[in-house]
């Protein structure tokens, strides 16, 4: 019995390690399952290795190796260790990809992702407490501020340095993901916001209306309403209303990109058309950038309805083509786009990295602002949910990017400031 149970556990561990080591795309319907299995292994491979070793020792002490099942399980466990070590190496090597992206954008002197950054970015003991993402000692969190009329779905939290009097600090707006149907401001972007708050940023995490109750562009309208609130109120909390960057992952990356590319677009600002909703920079992570072509599927030729069609857009792409184009960030790229830093995982099985490549190429073809892109080997969707070597390196790189953009803009007037203007419709 012990040997059989050990063999089953070993087989599961080996299978999850193999899945984490691949992109996990076929069949595409299993993408969510691949992601659920792969994410903890890809980001915590050494912890996975240690757990498998502990289980092996425990199984051996209970007599599992008295039968062939025990030895077969041990073979699977030991055989998976090289893959786990490789996953750990890929996580650490994210530094090179992120540094190269920053160096290509700002120059080598600006890519400050140092060899000893672990000691300053990652919290002590992060390998044993990767899910401890709140810095209660160094960061103050102000919860539940209202920015709109939709109750709890229009509430925001503010993260800022504890015990520090701020004035004119850079501001980062965090938009959570969750496929436009789930998600809370308290659950995503926490490593990034806590790290940047320690560095003197004021970070704002928002809720927004969710589908299927909400229909696009309700989600984007809420995000823009939050920017309007920040412009009016963030100085009360030490932030600079003239310098606001936006970030988000997955659906949040989609919304962050749309927000950045559509400053002051009246159709996305009903009732507050005169508010300035421009931003100084955008950092979308593993976002969806084209609703009409997703994960290699041409939506207009697809024979089955997509999740986006039934839950988010609630319209047929053939009958409402303009609405679908307007919901796609890639259709809004323009010369006046703010600086972008697009980050995506090469192993993302929910939103494939090819979409990010196409979006970056479209941006670089027309934008006058810097466009940085880092594609991280071995990284799955939502790799930044908790502390890991890859998450720490991404947090440090985002901080470097924002600080470089901030430094370059301090002597210049805010882009799109003054009289509100509308973006060009796609």
Tokens encoding 374: 């880092």
Say which residue the tokens 């989600």 belong to: 219
Say which residue the tokens 């670089």 belong to: 364
- Distance between CA atoms of residues 277 and 269, nearest Å: 9
Residues designated as active site: 250, 348, 381
Give the number of other CB atoms < 10 A from CB of residue 349.
Answer: 26
- Going from the C-alpha of 328 to that of each of 258, 263, 358, 425, the distances in angstroms are 7, 15, 12, 11
Q: Which residues pair with 298 in a beta bridge?
A: 293
Rg (CA), the chain: 22
- Distance between CA atoms of residues 337 and 369, nearest Å: 7
- Distance between CA atoms of residues 253 and 270, nearest Å: 22
- Distance between CA atoms of residues 365 and 237, nearest Å: 38
Tokens encoding 281: 């920079």
């Amino acid at each position: 019995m012990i040997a059989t149970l050990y063999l089953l556990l070993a087989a599961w561990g080996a299978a999850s390690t193999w899945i984490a080591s691949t992109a996990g795309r076929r069949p595409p319907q299993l993408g969510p399952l691949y992601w659920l299995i792969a994410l903890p292994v890809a980001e915590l491979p050494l912890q996975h290795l240690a757990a498998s070793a502990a289980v092996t020792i425990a199984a051996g002490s209970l007599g599992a190796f008295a039968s062939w099942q025990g030895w077969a399980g041990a073979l699977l466990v030991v055989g998976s260790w090289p893959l786990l070590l490789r996953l750990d190496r890929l996580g650490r090597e994210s530094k090179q990809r992120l540094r190269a992206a920053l160096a290509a954008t700002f120059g080598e002197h600006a890519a400050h992702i140092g060899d000893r950054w672990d000691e300053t970015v990652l919290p002590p003991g992060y390998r044993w407490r990767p899910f401890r993402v709140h810095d209660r000692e160094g960061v103050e969190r102000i919860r539940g501020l209202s920015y709109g009329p939709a109750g709890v779905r229009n509430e925001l939290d503010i993260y800022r340095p504890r015990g520090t009097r701020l004035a004119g600090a850079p501001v980062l707006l965090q938009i959570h993901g969750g496929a436009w149907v789930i998600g809370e401001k308290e659950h995503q972007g926490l490593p990034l916001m806590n790290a940047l708050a320690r560095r003197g940023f004021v970070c704002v995490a928002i809720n927004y209306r969710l589908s299927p109750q909400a229909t696009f562009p309700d989600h984007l309208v809420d995000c823009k309403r939050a920017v309007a609130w920040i412009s009016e109120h963030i100085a009360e909390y030490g932030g600079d209303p003239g310098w606001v960057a936006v970030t988000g992952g997955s659906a949040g990356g989609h919304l962050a990109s749309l927000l950045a590319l559509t400053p002051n677009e009246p159709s996305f600002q009903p009732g507050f058309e005169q508010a300035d909703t421009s931003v100084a920079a955008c950092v979308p992570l593993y976002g969806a950038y084209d609703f009409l072509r997703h994960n290699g599927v041409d939506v207009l030729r697809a024979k089955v309805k997509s999740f986006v069609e039934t839950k988010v857009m609630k319209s047929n792409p053939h009958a409402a083509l303009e609405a679908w184009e307007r919901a796609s960030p890639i259709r809004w790229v323009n010369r006046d786009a703010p600086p972008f830093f697009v980050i995506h995982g090469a192993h993302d099985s929910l939103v494939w990295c090819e979409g990010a490549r196409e979006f970056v190429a479209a941006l670089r073809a027309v934008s006058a602002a810097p466009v940085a892109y880092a594609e991280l080997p071995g990284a799955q969707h939502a790799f930044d949910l908790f502390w890991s070597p890859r998450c720490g390196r991404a947090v440090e790189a985002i901080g470097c990017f924002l600080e470089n953009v901030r430094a370059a803009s301090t002597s210049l007037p805010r882009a799109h400031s003054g009289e509100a203007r509308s973006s060009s419709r796609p």
